[in-house]
Structure 1
């Protein structure tokens, strides 16, 4: 039987043909090993069929967007999980579909899957702080908030971006920052990495090292040899008493970033890990 990690790897290996919904859904296999991957897709197909039945034959993209928003947010009741925002289930798509609750990126993935099935080419936008979506029409881009389907104005987007700009207030006033680089359509790999990073924060803060390790394996499928992800997988291995694996990852990180701020601390940790390896041998 193919492992869940190998299955995920198979889904994402062709960069130009990544089934985003299926790959995002597969992440949940770590927490729900017995998950029936077909059931959420059947539910989505049923949603799409219902929506297509209501769609006028020559519906414009704007009309489709209006009908989708009405169906998704009003009728189905999808919304943000305000009561338990950091619950890992908010990132597991079968839970999002069943409970109709999630966070911006998971709601967006479900929304975009439904949009795709009705012929609406909506893209994800990896906007700082809050994942967004966009629909490109003749008059320009419609930028959509996945929490409620509201179309955001230029001014609203600038306001949301301002806290994440790395310029001083004086510079930001003197030099107008273009929104365009922040509104590019996100590649499925980028969306999956962001989704996994949300879970990573939860698992690191709660010190769930086995879950973190499993998640780091997926991140390294998407970001092979990424220094930060190697370092963090090494941390998980260290907490799980796997000193050789931890040492390998930490040394790989130090080779890539010998002058990193945490290099001195990690070199000291490497010494302790070598001692632990010798004791095991």
Structure 2
């Protein structure tokens, strides 16, 4: 089964899909069962404290427990690729908003709670039901409308107003698409262009016509010295986004890449 088919497989859980992604990209000896057992242990610790006191109480206890044992956002080294690999997040107890949300959702699922990831712009959060919103990146605290708007203001400088659709649940495919893009950017930031290219391929396998993913694949291929492939992607991007904000920069990169090919 190829990666895209695995991502779309309804019979495979989100956590398993994330671990398989890490195995494919960078950790060929990764044992998923070991990390499933670690998630089981976290859930069992929360279960011992909850008893039969209802879903919201169980979730509050689980959030408090995960924060108490050290799970929080990596604000000091945000673009470390390890922040997006689930097993590394479980072991190191730090990561990105989306990877920490996955940990919370996996633990909650083992407690019988359906905690969903919401594709909040720039900062994935977790949602239980229609009203309970959790921010695992900031210690698993509950957040309300005003706090969500504050997050948007911090990320977008007041240009984006809170919309209820920002809390719509993500599919597994949407989650893994976002994870693959995060990994692509992190690996590129670490100058690991080989793995960045593999992540770009993953994103394109899910959204083959995405202009941004096509552009980024072209940029990464140029970094690898694969000029023919780079030019193909860059020209596709220019064709798809002739009025894109960065089209002049990409056009110049395509020109320079074409020149390298002619030498």
Q: Same fold (TM over 0.5)?
A: yes
Q: Report deviation, 1:212.
A: 1.4
Q: Structure 1 residues 261-270 or 246-255, which shifts more?
A: 261-270
Q: Does the alignment pair 1:154 with 2:149? A: no
Structure 1 residue aligned with 2:132: 142
- Sort the Cα spacing of 1:153 and 1:40 in 2 relative to 1 into closer, same or farther, 3 A: same
3-state SS of 1:189 partner: helix
Structure 2 residue aligned with 1:226: 210
The answer on whether the counterparts of 2:181 and 2:200 sit within 8 Å (CA) in structure 1 is: no
Structure 2 residue aligned with 1:117: 110
Structure 2 residue aligned with 1:241: 225
Deviations 1:76-134 (A, max 9, x none): 33223344333221111111111222232211101100101111111112223322111
- Sort the Cα spacing of 1:63 and 1:9 in 2 relative to 1 into closer, same or farther, 3 A: same
Q: Does the alignment pair 1:35 with 2:26? A: no
The answer on whether the counterparts of 1:18 and 1:188 sit within 8 Å (CA) in structure 2 is: no
Structure 2 residue aligned with 1:79: 72
**What is the TM-score with the length of structure 2 in the denominator?**
0.85
Distance in 2 (CA, whole Å) between partners of 1:202 and 1:18 is 26
| Aligned length, in residue pairs | 261
Distance in 2 (CA, whole Å) between partners of 1:238 and 1:222 is 22
The answer on whether the counterparts of 1:209 and 1:239 sit within 8 Å (CA) in structure 2 is: yes
Deviations 1:185-211 (A, max 9, x none): 222222223333333333333433212
The answer on whether the counterparts of 1:11 and 1:19 sit within 8 Å (CA) in structure 2 is: no
Deviations 1:110-163 (A, max 9, x none): 110010111111111222332211111xxx511111131211123222222234
Distance in 2 (CA, whole Å) between partners of 1:78 and 1:165 is 26
Deviations 1:214-268 (A, max 9, x none): 1101111222221211121111112212122212212222222234344455445
**What is the TM-score with the length of structure 1 in the denominator?**
0.80
Q: Structure 1 residues 204-213 or 235-244, which shifts more?
A: 204-213
Q: Does the alignment pair 1:181 with 2:165? A: yes
Structure 1 residue aligned with 2:185: 201
Distance in 1 (CA, whole Å) between partners of 2:158 and 2:88 is 39
Q: Does the alignment pair 1:133 with 2:123? A: no
- The structure 2 residue matched to 1:190, chosen from 152, 167, 174, is 174
Kindly report the root-mean-square deviation, in angstroms, between the aligned alpha carbons of the 2 structures. Answer: 2.8
Structure 1 residue aligned with 2:63: 69
Q: Does the alignment pair 1:211 with 2:211? A: no
Distance in 2 (CA, whole Å) between partners of 1:110 and 1:69 is 11
Larger radius of gyration: 1
- Sort the Cα spacing of 1:268 and 1:158 in 2 relative to 1 into closer, same or farther, 3 A: closer
Q: Structure 1 residues 216-225 or 78-87, which shifts more?
A: 78-87
